[in-house]
Amino acid sequence: MKKRIRILIAKPGLDGHDRGAKVVARALRDAGMEVIYTGLRQTPEQIVNAAIQEDVDAIGLSCLSGAHMSLFPAVAELLRKKKVTNILLFGGGIISQEDAEKLKKIGFKGIFGPGASLTEIIAFINKNVKKRRKE
């Protein structure tokens, strides 16, 4: 039996807008993935610890508050410090192209802004998790 993809969806920082994260979480679940949603106002430490405890394949971060350039790198850095290299990182929210490029350089494989299709996000996860499992 093929192992289901496990995804942690998290809202770091003080951003209280979680509708988009919930829509993505539901779409991933409907696509056959196992989704852990951590809820609002999570610290980078809480997110990384939950991801390790839950043995997830990927972490999806959502940020609409503009704090993505401090919160997203903090999650990536904590994963590095804990020597966790097998978790796919992706994010979404109101993120400029310039910031998206910076985030990709520190380990985020995908950044999805407003208007990204759920089909695109699901395909991205399937492709990248499958590739990581083969490595």
pTM of the model: 0.95
pLDDT in tens, 18-69: 999 999 999 999 999 999 999 999 999 999 999 999 999 999 999 999 999 9
> What is 6-134's CATH number, 3.40.50.300, 3.40.50.1470, 3.40.50.280, 3.30.70.80?
3.40.50.280
pLDDT at residue 133, rounded to an integer: 81
What ranges do the domains of the chain cover? Answer: 6-134
Please state, for a pLDDT cut of 70, what percent of the chain lies above it: 99
Spatial contact of 44 and 96, defined as CB atoms under 8 Å apart: no
> In Å, how far are 47, 79, 105, 125 from 101, measured between CA atoms?
22, 19, 6, 19
Measured CA to CA, the distance from residue 135 to residue 116 in angstroms comes to: 28
